[in-house]
Amino acid sequence: MPADLYAVIVLAAGQGRRMKSKLPKVMHRLAGMPLVGHVLTAAVELAPKNTVVVVGVGKEVTEGYLSDAWPNVHVVEQKEQRGTGHAVKQALSALGKLGEPPSNASVLVVSGDTPLITPAALNELLQTLQSQQAKAALLTAEVEDPTGYGRILRGESGRAVTGIIEEVDTTDSERAIREINGGVYAFNLASLKAALEKVGSQNAAGEEYLTQTVALIASAGEVVVACRMSDADLVAGINDRTQLADVGAKLNSWITAAWMKKGVTFVDPTSTWVEATVQIEADSVIWPNTYLSGATVIAEGSVIGPDVTLSNTTVGVGARVERSSVKDSKIGAGASVGPYAHIRPGTVIDTSVHIGSFVEIKNSSLGVGAKVPHLTYVGDADIGEGTNIGASSVFVNYDGVNKHRTSIGKHVRVGSDTMLVAPVKIGDGAYTAAGSVITEDVPPGAMAVARERQRNIEGWVKRKRGGTEAARAAEEAED
């Protein structure tokens, strides 16, 4: 790590008009994290002494996120949107209150809308600044279409950087330049402060551009260098929804590629979305149309998908989830879920449990080897080891005001189409008859039957539905 990294300043004050959103641009999310979160994740790897985020439009939203996710950063408000140079001035003013910096201090300035920036790229930039004894260094890239980016100006030799020109201020010849400014800078702190004092607002936007400091430092005879990235995606900024989608797809491809290198199989990475916070162990297989988000952890040998959504869910070794949605839950080793199951928050599925098709479970625990094969709702329940819940059963947990819990022991057999009206307890080894409505506790080993006795009314169809197909069929059967 380069020495004397005094501070990282993240610029996150702009609205981003082209996003057409009430949400600040840096708070739009990719891979489960706001754009500014990705930038901070890369920056803090360099262990700066101070980290400052400059906020502005929609500051309440950005500040709320930062206070929760990044409580150690300093948040500075840019009350007037007067440009990036003005924003950096606000950050330096706040840093000045923290004490005198080292004489050779370096400052890193990063745009908050560059989520693909990596710690390696930032480290390379700082190394370039120091190894070439420069006062300013900037990340650049050469792109086929430089539209929307500032262009890098060089001297007659084509090597020395003399400045950056924003696109709105370019001439025709300058607009043809394909080397673009990546919005990531490293400065000698003293040189940056001196240049910022001279920055004006005589430009098309009437703003104080941070980019002007490059020309000011160069014109003072000090060294300014460019660190050109071979991969332009590293400095890709986001200005509209199209770029958000493009960068999101690139980030997802990086995430899935990283997991594949660690032994995870993605049958179709292009149709599988994995957030940056997800953990996957080797020999897991992820089938198409799967979305893994939040604090999801998938243990080795699991098979997930196709058509699965997992959010904040832990999946045990060798488990299988197919065509289902699971949120804020735990799935044990060797368990199987789906197809077409909906597992809601608070559910704990133990080892070797089977959850079948069209089953909904919420806030419940299921013991080792329990089975809920199909067409059932389980809410607010504890189900014991080896218990089987028959098809079309319903755990009636809500009385219109309060939720109540059902407790079912081990090795119980709940007959199909049983209504379990909570609060109720079913003892170990008990049975319920199909079609029963259970409103009272069932002792261990008992058979609970709670249904009307069947009676047949002879001749009802002929008398009440005469002339119908059913009546004719009944008459034929009587002959």
Q: What is the mean pLDDT of residues 74-85?
A: 93
Least Cα distance to 376 among 404, 415, 402 occurs for: 415
**Mean pLDDT, range 44-66, rounded to an integer:** 95
The answer to whether residue 270 scores a pLDDT higher than 50 is yes
- Residues recognised as catalytic: 374
Architecture per CATH, domain 5-235, reads as Alpha-Beta Complex (3.90)
With 0.75 as the threshold, say if the pTM is over it: yes
Lowest mean pLDDT among 65-74, 159-168, 212-221: 159-168
Structure confidence at residue 315 as a pLDDT band (50, 70, 90): very high
Neighbour count for residue 167 (Cβ, 10 Å) = 16
Averaged pLDDT of the chain: 95
What pLDDT does 1 receive?
42
Q: What percent of the chain has pLDDT over 90?
A: 89
Burial 138-165 (b: 16+ CB within 10 A, else e): bbbbeeeebeebbbbbeeeeeeebebbb
Q: How confident is the model at residue 335 (pLDDT cuts 50, 70, 90)?
A: very high
Contact indicator for 113, 239 with CB cutoff of 8 Å: yes
What's 349's DSSP letter? Answer: E
List where CATH 3.90.550.10 sits in the chain.
5-235
CA distances from 328 to 296, 314, 363 (A): 9, 8, 10
Mean of pLDDT values over 266-273:
98
- For range 455-478, the mean pLDDT: 93
Q: What is the pLDDT of residue 91?
A: 96
- Confidence (pLDDT) at 205: 76
Listed in order, the ranges of the chain carrying CATH 2.160.10.10 are 263-448
Q: What is the CATH number of domain 263-448?
A: 2.160.10.10
d(CA 13, CA 351): 49
Q: What percent of the chain lies above the pLDDT cut of 70?
A: 99
- What is the number of residues in the chain? 479
The helix or strand, by DSSP H or E, that contains position 95, with its residue range, turns out to be helix 84-96
Kind and range of the H or E element at 123?
helix 119-131
Q: What is the mean pLDDT of residues 282-307?
A: 98
For 173-199, how does the pLDDT look when each residue is reduced to its tens digit (9 = 90+)? 999 999 999 999 999 999 999 999 999
The pLDDT of residue 160 is: 85
Q: At what angle do helices 119-131 and 35-43 cross, to 10 degrees?
A: 50
Tokens 């160069």: give the residue. 218
Residue 243 — very low, low, confident or very high, per pLDDT cuts 50/70/90? very high
Predicted local confidence at residue 2, as pLDDT: 44
Cβ neighbours of residue 56 closer than 8 Å, sequence gap 6 or more: 12, 13, 14, 15, 24, 77, 78, 79, 81, 87
Query: Residue 15: pLDDT above 90?
Result: no
Task: Give the residue-averaged pLDDT of 331-342.
Answer: 98
Average pLDDT over residues 61-69: 97
Q: What is the pLDDT of residues 419-433, one digit of tens each?
A: 999 999 999 999 999
Averaged pLDDT for residues 294-320: 98
